[in-house]
Amino acid sequence: MLKDDIQITLRYKGKEVDDGTMSVEDFIPALQGFASAYGKISLLKELDYQHKLRITGIQKGSLDILLEVWKAIGENAQQLQALGAVTAGGAAIVMLILEVIKMKKHVEDKPYTEKISATNSIIITNSQNIDLEFPLEVFNLFKDKLIDSDLAKLVKPLEKDRIDKTEIIAKYDGKTVSQDISVSEKPYFDTTIVDATQTKEVWLNGKFNSLTKSTNKGFLNLTDGTRVSYQFAIEKPENFYKYFIYNGLVKVRCIAHLDENLRVSSIDIYEVQEIQPSLLEEKNIKNDKD
């Protein structure tokens, strides 16, 4: 295992970062989104070695998730020598991610035109008639929407008056490159996830795992071991807060959204009830006390 000479920082800024109330549920999907985008491009480039991202620290003040790129390679001396001669593979991948972000900010999810330049790159003219030139590889990633769903996860935590900006920063070979996305630019990266189907109202049993009061969302652990995201979909969601501190199982009346594999991906909760212990359990508890 050999560390690549590149440091990657995922940074978030805003009120909830400053006061320490940003939920772990916000930045974990964002981290997964970056890792997924990195992995997809790594596979696309058909590199001869594996890349692994490792969290090396979290800075205070602003939420800085520090990552290092590790290359899983053999111990063959020729491999090591060849690796040293290669421009940092991790840096090349991160640069592609940054350039796709730059292109999406340039296009602003509006009509655009493209043309091939004399250097065989692509000139993108946006709706404001402003030109920017991008490598063909970047344009193909953009056009194929390969990492769109991953970038959507990166911007998911952004919310006005809560978390205002995210930034990706890469340092390598004495250089620093970065791209940021502000909350006003979030719509350029949002993707609509279409559920394969949606059930009618159903009752599901589980236990609340987490709750973010500012969004009334969190995770529910179902009795089959599955963890699904939920949101309280009633006019006064605070009426359900008491169930979060309840230590037992609950049953929820909800609309369940299913993914393409017909598995529950998220639920909208309309009613919550505590599940009382069965008579047999109550009897056992009584006998234990006796």
Which tens digits make up the pLDDT trace of 36-72?
A: 888 888 878 765 555 566 665 555 545 555 555 555 4
In a domain, 279, yes or no: no
Classify strands 264-274 and 227-232 as parallel, antiparallel or unpaired.
parallel
**What was the pLDDT predicted at 80?**
38
Q: pLDDT digit string (tens) for 151-181?
A: 998 998 898 888 899 999 988 888 899 999 9
Q: Is the pLDDT of residue 87 over 60?
A: no
- 207 shares its domain with 150: no
Inside any domain, residue 290 = no
> Rounded to 5 degrees, what angle do the CA atoms 80, 83, 85 make?
120
Which two structure tokens, joined as six digits, stand for 263? 């598995």
User: 180 with 167: CB under 8 angstroms?
Assistant: yes
265 in a structural domain: yes
Give the residue-averaged pLDDT of 241-247: 87
Same domain, 136 and 209: no
Question: Are 38 and 177 contained in the same domain?
Answer: yes
Check whether residue 135 and residue 20 sit in a common domain. yes
DSSP state of 259: -
Domain membership of residue 70 (yes or no) is yes
Q: Which residues contact 174 (CB under 8 A, 6 or more apart)?
A: none
Phi-psi region of 230 (alpha: psi -120 to 50; beta: other; left: phi over 0): beta
CATH number assigned to the domain comprising residue 250: 2.40.50.140
Evaluate whether residue 32 is within a structural domain.
yes
Q: Are residues 125 and 183 in the same domain?
A: yes
Residue 280 domain-assigned (yes or no): no
- Whether residue 287 lies inside any domain: the answer is no
Q: Mark whether 179 and 124 lie in a shared domain.
A: yes
Between 262 and 34, name the one with better pLDDT. Answer: 34
Domain C-terminal end among 188, 223, 239: 188
Q: What is the pLDDT of residues 108-153, one digit of tens each?
A: 999 999 999 988 899 999 999 999 999 999 999 999 888 998 999 8
- Could you tell me if 129 and 263 lie in one domain? no
268/221 same-domain check:
yes
Tell which of 147, 162, 188 closes a domain.
Answer: 188
Q: What is the pLDDT of residue 285?
A: 45
pLDDT digits (tens, 9 = 90+) for 215-225: 888 888 888 87
Per the domain annotation, does 289 fall within a domain?
Answer: no
Cβ distance 181 to 101 under 8 Å?
A: yes
Give the model's pLDDT for residue 81: 41
Other CB atoms within 10 A of residue 84 CB: 8
Residue 229 and residue 124 share a domain: no
- Domain limit, last residue, from 188, 222, 240: 188
* Structural domain for 223, as ranges: 197-274
Q: Are 158 and 33 in contact (CB under 8 A)?
A: no
Closest by CA to 39, choosing from 23, 52, 58, 20, is 52
- Same domain? For 58 and 155 the reply is yes
pLDDT at residue 268 tops 90: yes
Q: Do 172 and 229 lie in a common domain?
A: no
- Residue 66 and residue 90 share a domain: yes
Please name the helix (run of DSSP H) or strand (run of DSSP E) that holds residue 9, with its range, or none.
strand 2-13
Rg (CA), the chain: 23
- How many folded domains does the chain comprise? 2
